[in-house]
Structure 1
Amino acid sequence: MPHLGVQLLVQDRHVVMDNGILQVTLSNPDGIVTGIRYSGIDNLLEVQNDESNRGYWDLVWNTAGTTGIFDVIKGRSFKVIVETEEQVEVSFTRTWDSSQEGKLVPLNIDKRFVMLRGSSGFYSYAIYEHLKEWPGFNLGETRIAFKLRKDKFHYMIAADNRQRYMPLPDDRLPPRGQPLAYPEAVQLVNPVEPDFKGEVDDKYQYSIENKDNKVHGWICMDPAVGFWQITPSDEFRSGGPVKQNLTSHVGPTTLVMFLSAHYSGEDLVPKIGAGEAWKKVFGPVFMYFNSVMDGDDPLSLWEDAKLQMLIEVQSWPYGFPASEDYQKSDQRGNVSGRLLVRDRFVSDDYTPANGAYVGLALPGDVGSWQRECKDYQFWNRADEGGYFSINNVRTGDYNLYAWVPGVIGDYRYDVSITITSGCDIEMGDLVYEPPRDGPTLWEIGIPDRSAEEFYVPDPNPKYINKLYVNHPDRFRQYGLWERYAELYPDGDLVYTVGVSDYRKDWFYAQVTRKKDDNTYQRTTWQIKFNLDKVDHNGIYKLRVALASATVSELQVRINDPKAKPLFSSGLIGKDNSIARHGIHGLYWLYGIDVPGARLVEGDNAVFLTQPRSISPFQGIMYDYIRLEGPPSSSSNSPETSF
């Protein structure tokens, strides 16, 4: 059957896009998605909700010193951009002027919706623009949210191994649900479906790293229909490939996250200054719908959605968006090369940076990409030989950054790279020399920017999410921070090098200890190690890589737990990964000089104290710890550091 052309119906209060497969209704001039008719269902969105609370772009903004203002973005004027049988593109704009100061975020916002012939879905993207003469502001979050029909969509899928029937939104409300340590986590004490009784529901349990956050959504079993959110590129998301974002959660709700401070804190809130011109295109993203015949397996809709995701990824950058601010393939450029690692105390050879994450982001300091949140980033992974190619990069100036799983630290190519339309830049061989002063005396963990390899306890049986029982992501269970005091009731963790096993004996997070009177106390962990001989005149190096920090401080002492700290990080971190089941937030790396005079032949100890202790969620997650011996005199040649 030939596909009908796309038709556009403009009414007083609504605009309807229809291609014969689905029909999308938008409010006019607000540009809120009020209806999606598909496969015999008159509306996939929650009809009991007000029209403004079904499918919408929103943001959270503030000015310095004020609390965040939540804003469902409503257009003020509607315009048809493209209207052919092949494509309809419509625009809903809201322009800013000084009369709105303090009331609306100082941005011009242009929301676009696109429907193509023969496509089982629709696209949305937006252009945000701040002019130089406008006041500054902070943009805490921006996203698209869809509220689906709770009588139809009960089965949620975020990944092959993260899918389940979900509780109802009513189950989260008192008296059916009981809030736990923070409002997002709710214990289902009397849910509508008795199967969920006692479970914990928390939207953060379904977070996903950007690099894996390409398709998620919901299935209605009868009739069998899928509602999927497909994000084909990360270029407009902040924080790089392992920044975590929300996906779908009880509602049934599906989110398209563009900017958020989740798992990072204030560092990932763009701060647009007065006098600063800024413009960014978010999207396009694709809302995809599918169905199967009666009697076919509804779960096959997920397999089809993953295939559609691959098609969208391969089609990026899209050729259809009409905005000149969205660069097409021929306007972009490519960068390729090879990354090698030389760690001279491991080997004199140059080893390929197998699986390295290599990316282009705004010029900045080493590792600054993980806090960069105003511009675009482009990432790819190197192959086994360390070869990488980063294609379809928007024009502009970038630094090339990289980090290698299994190797500490961050690489940056020191010369900025200018991408011009159609360029193919071949970087040749690049060499990363990771931080290293001497040979490894001992190490704990794997340098992979995550605490996942450490001991993650079983949850308290009172606080189970059944999805994560016997699951590789066991760290996503609620309340694991409370298990520390139960496992170490009398004293803190002691780890003995050569005897202990970090997979069993190193708790995944150094949290505060809860006391009987509901206060919290500092914790000090101890690493015991033996040295046969000590160079008392030499300098040893303790390298500590953190995978997360939340309103914490790391103090390091050697052999005397009461001495003045040899090192203090000062107050660091607001990534909240302990409470949000994240296993990592932002990465921190410290190199601490340990004078040989502080060490003794025989038994030694490192004391790691986290002294800040007002809440259960203060703490740090370690990524990797290594003690290096002093460089031997034969290795005292000057080094090149990258």
Structure 2
Amino acid sequence: MHSFHYMVIADDRQRYMPLPEDRSPERGQELAYPEAVLLVNPVEPEFKGEVDDKYEYSCRSQDIWVHGWISNKPPVGFWQISPSMESRSAGPLKQFLASHVGPTTLALFHSVHYSGGDLVLRFKKGETWKKVFGPIFIYVNSLLEGDDPLQLWQDAKQQMMSQVQDWPYDFPASEDFPKFEQRGSVSGRLVVHDRYASNESKPADGAYVGLALPGEAGSWQRECKGYQFWTRADENGNFSIYNIRTGNYSLYASVPGFIGDYRYDANITITEKSNIELGDLVYEPPRDGPTLWEIGIPDRSAAEFYVPDPNPKYINKLYLNHSDRYRQYGLWERYAELYPDGDLNYTVNYSNYTKDWFFAQVTRKKDNATYEATTWQINFKLDNVNATATYKLRLALASAHESNLQVRINDPVVKPALFSTGIIGKENTIARHGIYGLYWLYNLDLPGAKLLQGNNIIFLTQTQSTSPFQGIMYDYIRLEGPPDF
């Protein structure tokens, strides 16, 4: 007998869930992989025709504070509260599983989902390592019969806020879990100076600012052995990070609206009760010349591009008319349906990336067993070309899975390609209903001699085609003119 039927992950992600037996071979049909099951003959008929897949309920680390289940009779809530994400791998944007059919509630501190081999823990011979995971807080609440069960969710959120205020807990006896008075803090202000875009620096409004093990800019998204401490900058670029464990760190930032990654030029050493004030910091994102054209929004996500409606045979009712429409099953198959005879063809200053740029460059299904590579085109016009200058193409990728992206200019078959990523990514973001995985930034020099006055075409070919899940998600593409353009 299952008591907990109603799952809550967020205010806008909650629903009655199918039963675990609905996923059995007698009641469900396995789809492209075992985690995805079409409910053919569920115990409760209302779920018939829906897809159940745990990956449809994954969450960003920065959003995993409280989630769980509600029982209506009696009205009881079971909640997992994570007061801190300091021990989770790979920063605030890393996606983890949360709750799903079971009823299952997970507390994950490390996984390779949406990242692949880059986040596999690796140790050298003789290397010592230890890390404290958690603690987490399990909360059970109840109501009187007849009360609105959703009050349990509101109460759980209040309890979560209380637990966050109580962090770090004072009850762990381990010397490896420092108390409040044994930790430190960092504060400062981050501004962005984007040459050619503006003469003035702008506050890094909403920037992700954090401390992680020392490394190169952006290395935090592949870091999994140490602790990480993150916050969001306010509208003026001010940030404060509290309750930091002692140790040596780099300070990193990623600023929505700007490509690339920031890293403070010196390591930061946190000691007990230290309060480090860094003052004003300036991030200069990659920029060589003025913007000639751009596609998308530089925010490490493909969410702004065209996400199609799901096949009516494979729906999750939660995500109908939902901002997270990309979480539906099988959207990769819609590409071949929308582009049956030719690949995506985008024209700068005419096409609209919210409607005309498919959210993922996937393979095209030819028949039941084979797939083919795809080549997308970007058409653009240049009124003037400096044949002796160098232009810059910025390719920011939101995800890649077993893909090789090749770039060509004005000739779709010339060999070698102007640029090739080589085979990158094991993120499986497409199959797992994500809209981003790891962030990849490529900065390509385009010789002016290869550009034409008038009409030009950039060809983007993803060459690998043995699976429906191979592909690229773009974050943002920009062509810059030469510095004196």
TM-score (norm 2): 0.99
d(CA) in 1 for partners of 2:431, 2:350? 31
Matching residue within 461, 476, 483 for 2:334: 483
- The match for 2:325 is 474
> Which residue identity is paired with 2:365?
K
Q: Deviations over 1:422-477 (max 9, x none)?
A: 10111111110000000000000000000000000000000000111010000000
Return the offset for 1:274: 2.0
1:584 aligns with 2:448: no
Give the 5 Å matches for 1:50-69.
none
Task: Determine helix, strand or coil for the equivalent of 1:301.
Answer: helix
- The match for 2:450 is 598
- The match for 2:249 is 398
Return the offset for 1:268: 1.2
> Which residue identity is paired with 1:497?
V
Instruction: Specify which structure has the higher proportion of strand.
Output: 1
Q: Deviations over 1:357-409 (max 9, x none)?
A: 00000001111000000010000011111011111100000000001000100
d(CA) in 2 for partners of 1:461, 1:555? 34
- The match for 2:2 is 151
> Which residue identity is paired with 1:427?
L
Return the offset for 1:270: 1.5
Give the 5 Å matches for 1:305-344.
305-344=156-195
Q: Deviations over 1:479-521 (max 9, x none)?
A: 0000000000000000000000000000000000000253000
Q: Which moved more, 1:430-439 or 1:309-318?
A: 309-318
d(CA) in 1 for partners of 2:434, 2:368? 28
Give the 5 Å matches for 1:522-533.
522-533=373-384
1:568 aligns with 2:420: yes
Task: Determine helix, strand or coil for the equivalent of 1:267.
Answer: helix
d(CA) in 2 for partners of 1:414, 1:238? 23
Highest RCO, 1 vs 2 (Cα 8 Å, sep ≥ 6): 2
Return the offset for 1:277: 1.3
- The match for 1:616 is 468
Bigger Rg over Cα: 1
- The match for 2:355 is 504
Return the offset for 1:269: 1.6
Give the 5 Å matches for 1:159-558.
159-558=10-409
d(CA) in 2 for partners of 1:347, 1:601? 27
> Which residue identity is paired with 1:582?
G
In structure 2, stretches of 5+ residues that fail to align are none
> Which residue identity is paired with 1:531?
L
Task: Determine helix, strand or coil for the equivalent of 1:483.
Answer: helix
Superposition RMSD in Å = 0.8
Q: Deviations over 1:193-245 (max 9, x none)?
A: 00001110000000000000111000010000000010111100001000000
d(CA) in 1 for partners of 2:155, 2:246? 34
> Which residue identity is paired with 1:329?
F
Task: Determine helix, strand or coil for the equivalent of 2:329.
Answer: coil
Q: Deviations over 1:16-60 (max 9, x none)?
A: xxxxxxxxxxxxxxxxxxxxxxxxxxxxxxxxxxxxxxxxxxxxx
d(CA) in 2 for partners of 1:443, 1:518? 37
> Which residue identity is paired with 1:269?
V
d(CA) in 1 for partners of 2:367, 2:123? 46
- The match for 1:631 is 483
d(CA) in 1 for partners of 2:221, 2:392? 25
> Which residue identity is paired with 1:431?
V
Task: Determine helix, strand or coil for the equivalent of 2:225.
Answer: coil
Task: Determine helix, strand or coil for the equivalent of 1:276.
Answer: coil
Return the offset for 1:273: 2.2
Task: Determine helix, strand or coil for the equivalent of 2:133.
Answer: strand
d(CA) in 1 for partners of 2:32, 2:339? 21
d(CA) in 2 for partners of 1:173, 1:534? 62
> Which residue identity is paired with 2:318?
L
d(CA) in 2 for partners of 1:216, 1:556? 43
Task: Determine helix, strand or coil for the equivalent of 1:482.
Answer: helix
d(CA) in 2 for partners of 1:383, 1:538? 40
d(CA) in 2 for partners of 1:345, 1:289? 55
d(CA) in 1 for partners of 2:34, 2:198? 51
Task: Determine helix, strand or coil for the equivalent of 2:444.
Answer: strand
Q: Deviations over 1:599-632 (max 9, x none)?
A: 0011001000000000000001000000000000
Q: Deviations over 1:498-552 (max 9, x none)?
A: 0000000000000000002530000000000000010111000000000000000
Return the offset for 1:271: 1.1
Runs of 4 or more off by more than 2 Å in structure 1? none
> Which residue identity is paired with 1:474?
R
d(CA) in 1 for partners of 2:199, 2:184? 35
> Which residue identity is paired with 1:447?
P
d(CA) in 2 for partners of 1:372, 1:591? 23
Identity over aligned pairs, percent: 72
d(CA) in 2 for partners of 1:258, 1:569? 31
d(CA) in 2 for partners of 1:390, 1:269? 27
Q: Which moved more, 1:474-483 or 1:556-565?
A: 556-565
d(CA) in 2 for partners of 1:189, 1:378? 45
d(CA) in 1 for partners of 2:247, 2:368? 57
- The match for 1:133 is none
d(CA) in 2 for partners of 1:175, 1:295? 36
In structure 1, stretches of 5+ residues that fail to align are 1-149, 634-642
d(CA) in 2 for partners of 1:620, 1:577? 9
Task: Determine helix, strand or coil for the equivalent of 1:304.
Answer: helix
Return the offset for 1:173: 0.4
Return the offset for 1:272: 2.3
Task: Determine helix, strand or coil for the equivalent of 2:134.
Answer: strand
Task: Determine helix, strand or coil for the equivalent of 2:221.
Answer: helix
Give the 5 Å matches for 1:6-155.
151-155=2-6
d(CA) in 2 for partners of 1:557, 1:344? 27
- The match for 1:8 is none
Task: Determine helix, strand or coil for the equivalent of 1:284.
Answer: coil
